[in-house]
Amino acid sequence: MHIAITGAAGFLGQRLVAQLLDRGELDGDAIRRLTLVDQAEPPVVAKEGVEIRSLALDISTPGALDPVLEAGPDVIYHLAAVVSSAAEADLDLGMRVNFDATRALLEGCRAHGLSRTRLIMASSVAAYGGELPAVLDDMTALHPQNSYGAQKAMSELLVNDYSRRGLVDGLVLRLPTIVIRPGRPNAAASSFASSILREPLNGEEAICPVPTDLELFVMSPGRVVDALIHGAGVSGEALRTFRAFMLPGITVSVAEMLEALREVAGDEALARVRHEPDPRIEAIVGSWPARFTNERARQLGFKNDKDFREIVEAFLGERA
């Protein structure tokens, strides 16, 4: 089993690599080879019996991935992306990395005859938008209200069409908001969703810029990696007529998130969250859908977090 990963230096990529090396197998086959790709060489941890290559490549350049694809990987995780704020600030950059690179990867798979390679791409809840119903299902149209979401939605269509034509065996997983991310607050509108838990748990102050009745659709980093791994074993036939769908997050209000913080870490931790409304952030995050039926994902065996408390406890467990 040879696995290639784009965006392997990122937060999710690094967690996926660690999990794969820990398991030692994917879909029942021993992992013999791992090819990690990112703009800068992804960090490598040696593991006996696994040949690991780490490559710095600009995957938006046509043919850049040829050396990887020539080796005929069995599974490709395509995680490389420009995040939503950057794609909104620079249309050309977003188109090049989020769309053209996906197209180049698909063309590379076609050119190298990788019709049986399982290509797993990460898409996003940001692909949804506009005038949405209260609860979304697998037939809800994608009307993205940001360039990142539009580029992901276009890539989904392309992965589906190349798969339908038998040029690759694609699968696209739309990710909920990932909570709790490690690290520091950043410029992402959703940054607070991790920050209001992470900082108080670390004994620091955090700012909550949205009303506490605001709902989010969230998934823990651990469950997202589980989904990426599970996706390698889902048959193309089971994916039927469309290869992209939303992963099963859970719906939580900010109030419920803060209550879980209090339960796990006490009133002292909760008191570290300052409420400073920011209408700009509320407008962006409030436009993201928070309720999904997730029928397809469940039928295909993808699992959600049990509840928000489990997410907080998992974060504490990993930090320990």
Q: Give residues in contact with its own copies (CB under 8 A).
A: 91, 129-133, 138-145, 147, 150, 153-154, 157-158, 160-161, 164-165, 240-242
Minimal distance, residue 192 CB to its own copies, in Å = 25
Minimal distance, residue 167 CB to its own copies, in Å = 8
Minimal distance, residue 170 CB to its own copies, in Å = 12
Name residues whose C-beta falls within 8 Å of residue 14's C-beta, 6 or more positions apart in sequence. Answer: 8, 42, 43
Judged by beta carbon, residue 148 or residue 302, the one nearer its own copies is: 148
Name residues whose C-beta falls within 8 Å of residue 192's C-beta, 6 or more positions apart in sequence. Answer: 185, 206, 207, 208, 209, 210, 281
Distance of alpha carbon 190 from alpha carbon 212, whole angstroms: 14
Minimal distance, residue 35 CB to its own copies, in Å = 27
Strands ordered across the beta sheet of 215-219: 177-178, 215-219, 250-253
Kindly report the CA angle at 242 between 240 and 13, in degrees rounded to 5? 110
Distance of alpha carbon 39 from alpha carbon 41, whole angstroms: 7
Judged by beta carbon, residue 54 or residue 145, the one nearer its own copies is: 145
Say if residues 272 and 140 touch (Cβ distance below 8 Å). no
Minimal distance, residue 169 CB to its own copies, in Å = 17
Judged by beta carbon, residue 45 or residue 89, the one nearer its own copies is: 89
Residue entry with tokens 């709902």:
215
At residue 207, φ and ψ (nearest 5 deg) are -110, 130
Name residues whose C-beta falls within 8 Å of residue 279's C-beta, 6 or more positions apart in sequence. Answer: none
Name residues whose C-beta falls within 8 Å of residue 20's C-beta, 6 or more positions apart in sequence. Answer: 3, 26, 31, 34, 229
Judged by beta carbon, residue 86 or residue 314, the one nearer its own copies is: 86
What is the β-pairing status of strands 250-253 and 215-219? Answer: antiparallel
Q: Which residues carry out catalysis?
A: 148
Minimal distance, residue 166 CB to its own copies, in Å = 11
Judged by beta carbon, residue 144 or residue 200, the one nearer its own copies is: 144
